[in-house]
């Protein structure tokens, strides 16, 4: 069985390779999972999968500088 840190390293490697992962929060919080990908690896097919199967919001983290450029 993988240790906590091995699981994190494995997930990070999957993200580097452009794979989608399910990031799960704590049972005592919302006890849900989010579909996560590295933004530079996202494809139209991945967005479609998230919209169809995730059935929630699709979010993107951006820096303030990037947000300012979009004004």
Please give the Cα distance from 31 to 48 (Å, whole number): 24
Confidence of residue 28 (pLDDT cuts 50, 70, 90): confident
The number of distinct structural domains making up the chain is 1
Q: Is the pLDDT of residue 1 over 80?
A: no
Give the pLDDT confidence score for residue 36 in this predicted structure. 97
Q: Is the pLDDT of residue 65 over 90?
A: yes
Q: Domain residues for 62?
A: 4-69
Q: Is the pLDDT of residue 30 over 90?
A: no
Contact 14, 5 (CB under 8 A): no
Report the predicted TM-score, pTM, of the whole model to 2 decimal places. 0.79
Give the pLDDT confidence score for residue 17 in this predicted structure. 98
């Amino acid at each position: 069985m993988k240790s906590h840190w091995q699981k994190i390293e494995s997930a990070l490697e999957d993200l580097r390779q452009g794979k989608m992962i399910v990031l799960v929060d704590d049972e005592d919080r919302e006890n849900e999972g989010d579909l996560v990908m590295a933004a530079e690896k996202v494809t139209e097919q991945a967005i479609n999968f998230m919209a169809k199967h995730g059935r929630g919001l699709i979010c993107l983290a951006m820096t303030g500088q990037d947000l300012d450029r979009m004004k």
